[in-house]
Structure 1
């Protein structure tokens, strides 16, 4: 699938409609192919400085899958809730913060650069009226400016997690109906994206990108021979890219993380300690 055409949710919704047709059933609502273009008409972006190449990594990157079951998620949530900073953190927020904390604690980031953490946010349910069935690219990057890694070194592990969860939450919740409407009128999103791109291209910042597919009905796609046993994506070897997907039972999260081979063992060790220590 080309991202020029659609995002992951559009692909899944299209497959679900396709599968329902194969079963001889009609879905209550079919994808609306023109809805997204009505809100965000095509533009000439040839002069834009925004480029995915800023996140491209070298060929040494590997993709590792980590499965956060409900026990690990509960332990992370408990640790993140121990302060007034964060109330009722989501599983996506705590997993994102745990991964960021790992890279900060293990000095795997350039201390001279500010750290950006961006989440791909599905705008469909956040728009009013809802764009729930709109086919196309319905996601914006919600970016958190986390500051320099060294400002976290003196914080205890739990305090680091809480601070990172708070900043990730703020970034995701920035993408609301007001923000979407400002993008329609003034193209606020492209302007914000350009500022982030400038920071990275000028070497002032390093960026993480999280894409959460949690809640997407991937395991509901049934062409007539049963639900999928396991759903996954092919490796997308971009530096500091993390894809989050629900497990088949819906209770856990599978995190696909791009990192260098020499970073694997320390992350695996830290992952195993979740729930046993702070």
Structure 2
């Protein structure tokens, strides 16, 4: 196991390069933002060194840090609410108090960490896991930690409040930020529509969704599905699903859910009904669609349930996932438009809560997918990342899917109860298709030009 010692070199606030105009000082969030939890999501990029000499790595790190800080300042002027502070569940005070930036260093080479990345060590790179940083940041909604490795490699890890952004919005932010850092004069401009999409409700003035943080110990593990193994899995399902279209995400998710439930059965000795919530991006599903650059929370869960163990056969899960997605696209997506949209949304939330309340014995799992987001194309001016990852420190029974750095595989981060994970990692059906925590280099695209 790799042992890491980390040291914070500096902490500072970064203000927007231009003050927010008076008429934009108050930003009203949309109803979907209003009901989103006030927690921080993170996105972490690991870049190899682009230098040949270790002796200039410190100078190189300082230069990159200055570029990042300057580009954050300019980016905040475009994403002006991110430099403000939450006033309540539906309002941002755009007071230009700024983002928070941390410089740090670790005592190992990047290659040592990426050879078999240990998710338990990610606290060394996240800005939000340092109590002093969180205290000094004074409620900042956008925090960045920039870390140097002894080889000259670097990690850029940023955290953003979920109140203002889902994963697509995170991607838009990092696209703009990285292009500004490279010196682009025409970066992607975010679309900040807030209440103009769906106005927040006065009766929910102080309401944000709560996150049920598990009291028991839980752990997160990484499993990688290569392109060839995904093809095998799809071929297996195709024998049963002859005329339905399905995606690689659906077959991988079906297997992971099935194996997670099998683990639960091993633990408690019997099958319990189970439900899977999969988050979908609303932007392209609305009529008319919204641009991908719109900032905010534009995701909604579709739900699949299994009341008997046979309902978890892979082809059955894939069929149900596709069926629910089609139903949502064809009918339910329309509820987000029109005068009745707020009431329809609140009614849907009420029905979901009532379903969970009336099925207390049901095991609930949640999935989000980052697949097809071109995260490995992000370039701050020193090449593309070797690894992009988002870690979950808060919620149990979750599955997060993303593309591998080669672009043709899927990386799954699974969070389970500690006892269940010990069983999950030994599941023979899972291990037939998934490689547990392989080296980042195992799926590395040789077309990337990098030096370690």
Q: What is the TM-score of this pair, normalised by structure 1?
A: 0.84
1:176 to 324, 329, 334: 329
- 8 Å CA contact 2:179–2:187 kept in 1: the answer is no
Q: How many pairs align?
A: 266
Say whether 1:191 aligns with 2:350.
no
Match in the other structure for 1:140 = 300
Q: Within 2, Cα distance between the matches of 1:85 and 1:196?
A: 32
Match in the other structure for 2:252 = 95
Q: 1:115 to 1:52 in 2, by over 3 A?
A: farther
2:182 to 12, 15, 23: 23
Q: Within 2, Cα distance between the matches of 1:181 and 1:174?
A: 11
Q: What is the TM-score of this pair, normalised by structure 2?
A: 0.54
Greater alpha carbon shift after TM alignment, 64-73 vs 262-271: 262-271
Q: 1:2 to 1:90 in 2, by over 3 A?
A: same
Shift, 1:98, TM fit: 0.4
Whose radius of gyration is greater, 1 or 2? 2
Greater alpha carbon shift after TM alignment, 233-242 vs 94-103: 233-242
- 8 Å CA contact 2:241–2:315 kept in 1: the answer is no
- 8 Å CA contact 1:69–1:253 kept in 2: the answer is yes
Specify every segment of 5 or more residues in structure 1 that has no aligned partner in the other structure, as ranges.
none
Q: 1:130 to 1:26 in 2, by over 3 A?
A: farther
Match in the other structure for 2:280 = 121
Say whether 1:37 aligns with 2:195.
yes
Superposed CA RMSD in Å reads: 2.8
Q: Which one has a larger percent strand, Structure 1 or Structure 2? A: 2
- 8 Å CA contact 2:366–2:397 kept in 1: the answer is yes
Shift, 1:147, TM fit: 3.2
Shift, 1:216, TM fit: 1.4
Specify every segment of 5 or more residues in structure 2 that has no aligned partner in the other structure, as ranges.
1-159, 435-452
- 8 Å CA contact 1:85–1:166 kept in 2: the answer is no
Shift, 1:249, TM fit: 1.4
Say whether 1:63 aligns with 2:223.
no
Shift, 1:199, TM fit: 2.3
CA displacement, residues 238-273 of structure 1 (integer Å, 9 cap, x when unaligned): 121111111111111111111123223432333222
Q: 1:216 to 1:27 in 2, by over 3 A?
A: farther
- 8 Å CA contact 2:244–2:319 kept in 1: the answer is no
Look up the SS of the partner of 1:175 in the other structure.
helix
The structure 1 segments of at least 4 consecutive aligned residues displaced by more than 6 Å after TM superposition are 47-50
- 8 Å CA contact 2:219–2:416 kept in 1: the answer is yes
Shift, 1:81, TM fit: 1.2
Look up the SS of the partner of 1:141 in the other structure.
strand
Q: Within 2, Cα distance between the matches of 1:265 and 1:43?
A: 44
